[in-house]
Structure 1
């Protein structure tokens, strides 16, 4: 069965046609760096020259940074895996200041991701022919070509169920075929055609320079990144050259080239400290251990050629099970033994208190300092609490340990810490991948850092995560403050706009409950909604609802709580959840005025 969708503003339609059909080349200068001796280069050259005003060619292996000047977009590609030397896979000579808009195609460019320590890594060279969990309202599906997303139903890969929340997946899933020819997940041992590449989804969006755009049928994760962006780099994980893409796939590739041009000069903010640095990997490990502990499931989930060799399959099962179990800390192995459910329960309950442990693999330990406060180590509220503790002399050693552990600062007194926090509050983001630290985003990204601080991270089980914040967190009586309700949605999920919908979708609602002495100054400022594939006004990605509050001069001094009831309905392409209401709370510290002006 096929379902056709196209996102067109203001229209609720099922079948659409591409609207950008001009034969005029797009005014962009594109440099393609590949293997000059391979027919693949000629394929790309012919395709690019039809669509762009200037096309240059370069050798991927010898490309230098200076050669990219004079071009708007650079495409890095290689037929198959690039050759190796003693340092690893060869790649263009690009330094960490490289900021030209660049597209990485499939696994041929994996050396770039490694040398640049990008989140766009080579998690797996195992991407097939179709995309799924598509952020269908993203610009690369809309401009300059409107893309016809022709969904078809396929069997959900069995191994997807071994990932956290994978058990919730249906028997089939909607996919969009991008390649006409290519490697097949149904016959993974046939390498006559190169597989594409996916990147690790764990921690991928924990910095504001990253976007998940689509996953694709692969041998790892249902959430793996097949199309995504980090800074000036965009991964187009599908390996096929233009002639082997579907017509809509080719148009989408043109759109991707146009889209990445917008990020000229925006080098990545975060570099991966290791391949196993995001805390979600602890849950992945526990869920994987559960899957391999189920012998029947494991046997049935393997490719058919492997199932024909029972002895080899049994040995693989034993090896993988011991490998998974051996990665848990010894203390947990003593407590939980071979019970995977206990590991899963432990990591779910303590996810917000984990930090990197010893060793080079998937290693996380419990931060007892943070757990004792009951606050996530990736929420700004923790910094507020610790600075307050330091100012009051409450467990100052513990407060200072936490502040220095999760920031790059080294202040000694609470006043300096408070000044730093209030200066950068709306530019702070927390990154697991970048070293378990609060980092400061560039001024141009002020207010856009909610992608990282509002944890836990949304996923298919909890697709909407909301939190309330105030700025400043400490306010003098008689002054104003900003309340922000920040909402983050998992890829391919949305909620409905606050100003109502034209269909049964439940609109977003916000209802304040304020303490005595605190009043709203004005109404809510809502984010600009987009149009969903059914024409309804929706929010997706990360959005913020803002309201200005004012503290009365006579308000009681001390800590008060501001509450907001947040109502929403979460939907994806498959289904809608029941409408939900959450009560969000944030503490405000009201202090004496620093002036001596009497109250009027």
Structure 2
């Protein structure tokens, strides 16, 4: 009996070998590199001094180092600014908790109108980076997005508890002993905004597992976690969903998940604020990802706002009169608030009283015209509106009848019916489509359509029918279809297999990087057109003469997007703000802003379309004035990382 027990123990330990074996000291036999640099205290509520920030960074590094040394046999710690990708080659797992230097800088080129003509995201890691890695919070976006990671920035809004866990996943099993204690909590209020994505009736409460002892909702200034988009996250064999968490998005938003050799731990707390249960699971996550060292990512999500078929649920929901009337109501409420302030300002002026800058602004207030139903449908239904017009009843049938033939591989949140697939009556995610196209090439029938299909849904560059047939016959049993990865059929296997190279068709072009010289004041004042790639444009100019001036800031917001004016304590968005740095002798007054519209019930307010702010200046003397505008932009699907733009003016 003793021999049987001993043999069973050896078997269990051997089963843990790929994810870290525990030695006699109770530690996993893994070499772990921790890359730090983030702070445990954020500056959302108040600006930290350099000394405070550095102290917070050091506290966080110390907390991670302590936990890792307790659990792992060999641990090294470096600051992000000291890291190079080659360092990870010498470790089993790298834990990224700070931004690392870019190996390729961001490229942003503009035309003479100031419009972006070319944008290339900064790349922090090589595309062939295959070291096993765990990313903490929003660092997953930083290091992974440029190389196609599905661990993208859906929302920086993850709080302290997890729900919808895959409880039998290995990270909840071992090698470190784990316990999951659940408590029943109310369903996050924001999830009800996306109930059309949820199958069945939304529950009023959920069993939740506490990951952190603190969260940003209860402790202002506490680090905020990141969730990734769930749509298409698991549509490739190199990705797996593990857990969601309390956030401002859907109930299936990915808080913990794996794509290739990257495991995202979206929760942002350091071990100093992790529960004991979470510490064990986090250590298990490191052990688990170790087995994926050297395997890399197969499907690549280079377009973080690519549409998947799940998007049809939202389009169907938006094709109702209720969402349209709700948006009209928002505009009307903002108009009422603006007219009320205008009336108060006019009455004050009639009494001969001096008006404040804000009151003077409202004397010129003009109500915004609510969008028509046609404008609403054109904005949200896009391609379908050109076919269906204002016939709301036709939209659900159109989307359901054509579900198998929708294609979303081009643009951002774009869904069009692929008439080629529809003509053949074969769904575009069915590999029979490729077989049909290859057969057409072999027979010389419908060759144009066949080539379009093969080019649209594969990454291959074959020119002869025989090459296509050999590829299909060789790998047909291993083909899978990924929508998040570009609406392609890929081969389940190494990225080096034919049909898996995302750059196979790229034309090599080398262009000079954009000149980074400061824009002139004339260029700064040009607002330019928005786009999905750049949904907010900001322009600024200095107006007035003498001792009273104004900085006028105009912001144009792309249709479907909004920025935040006031943010409720329960929300995690970043409000628009303006900071000025003025030469001696000058001072700035309070920001003058128009009335925003309400967003939700918590007290958050937003701006859409266009908005103009003013910063009054008083003083004398000459020098350079600097104005920095900061904002966060969101649409109905995703909140983008906070942005800022700096403007400079000669004054005096």
Choose which of 286, 310, 323 in structure 2 pairs with 1:257.
286
Aligned to 1:578: none
Tell me how far 1:87 sits from its aligned partner: 6.0
- Distance in 1, matches of 2:493 and 2:442, equals 29
Larger deviation, residues 276-285 vs 261-270: 276-285
Residue 132 (str. 1) matches residue 185 (str. 2) = no
Q: 1:145 to 1:157 in 2, by over 3 A?
A: same
Q: 1:140 deviation in Å?
A: 0.8
Deviation, 1:283, is: 1.8
Residues 191-340 of structure 1 aligned to structure 2 (within 5 Å): 191-280=220-309, 282-286=311-315, 289=318, 293-294=322-323, 326-332=379-385, 335-337=388-390, 339=392
- Secondary structure in 1 matching 2:241: strand
Q: CA deviation at 1:63?
A: 1.3
Distance across 1 between alignment mates of 2:188 and 2:378: 24
Partners of 1:417 and 1:269 in 2: how far apart?
21
- Give yes or no for the alignment of 1:418 onto 2:438: no
Calculate the TM-score normalised by the size of structure 2: 0.56
Matches within 5 A, 1:352-367: 352-356=404-408, 360-367=411-418
Unaligned runs of 5+ in 1: 1-19, 301-306, 450-600
Contact 1:63 1:92 survives alignment (8 Å): no
State the partner residue of 1:347: 399
Show CA shifts across 1:190-209 (max 9, x none).
74212210111111122211
Q: Could you say if the C-alpha distance between residues 357 and 420 of structure 1 is closer, same or farther in structure 2, counting changes exceeding 3 Å?
A: closer
- Kindly provide the CA deviation profile for residues 305-359 of structure 1, in whole angstroms up to 9, marking residues without a partner as x: xx999959xx9997999778514225525615383x644443333232122376x
Using the TM superposition, give the Cα deviation of residue 222 of structure 1 relative to its aligned residue in structure 2, in angstroms: 1.4
CA distance in 1 between counterparts of 2:492 and 2:368 reads: 45
Moved more, 246-255 or 341-350: 341-350
- Aligned partners of 2:182, 2:384: CA distance in 1, in Å? 47
What residue number does 1:103 align with? 134
Q: Deviations over 1:5-52 (max 9, x none)?
A: xxxxxxxxxxxxxxx998522211111111284111111111111111
Is 1:442 aligned to 2:442, yes or no?
no
Q: Are 1:99 and 1:265, in contact at CA under 8 Å, matched by a contact in 2?
A: yes
Displacement of 1:68 after TM fit? 2.1
The 1-side partners of 2:419 and 2:26 are apart by: 62
- Name the CA shift for 1:242/1:296 in 2 (closer, same or farther; >3 Å): farther
Supply the distance in 2 between the matched residues of 1:317 and 1:425 (Cα, whole angstroms). 55
Deviation at 1:178?
1.3
Deviations 1:120-140 (A, max 9, x none): 111110111111221111111
TM-score (norm 1): 0.60
Q: In the alignment, which residue of structure 2 is the partner of 1:123?
A: 154
Structure 1 pair 145–318 and aligned structure 2 pair: CA distance change class (3 A): farther
The count of residues paired between Structure 1 and Structure 2 equals 413
**What is the CA deviation profile of residues 400-420 of structure 1, one whole-angstrom value per residue up to 9, with x for unaligned ones?**
432333223355665443322
Q: How far 1:227 sits from its partner (Å)?
A: 0.7
| CA deviation after TM superposition for structure 1 residue 141, in Å | 0.8
TM-align CA RMSD? 4.1
Q: CA deviation at 1:214?
A: 1.1
Counterpart Cα distance in 2 of 1:370 and 1:208: 25
**Higher Cα radius of gyration:** 2
Q: Secondary structure at the match of 2:424?
A: coil
Residue 287 of structure 1, CA deviation? 5.2
Residue aligning to 2:98:
78
Between the aligned partners of 1:154 and 1:441, the Cα distance in structure 2 is 40
Q: Secondary structure at the match of 1:348?
A: helix
From the superposition, tell whether residues 62 and 292 of structure 1 become closer, same or farther in structure 2 (CA, over 3 Å): farther
**What is the deviation of 1:143?**
1.6
Q: SS of the counterpart of 1:435?
A: coil
By how many angstroms is 1:269 displaced?
1.3
d(CA) in 2 for partners of 1:318, 1:171: 34
Other structure's SS at 2:470 match: helix
> Are the aligned partners of 1:26 and 1:51 in contact in 2 as well (CA < 8 Å)?
yes
Deviation readout 1:533-553 (Å, 9 max, x if unpaired): xxxxxxxxxxxxxxxxxxxxx
Aligned with 2:479 (options 419, 423, 428):
428
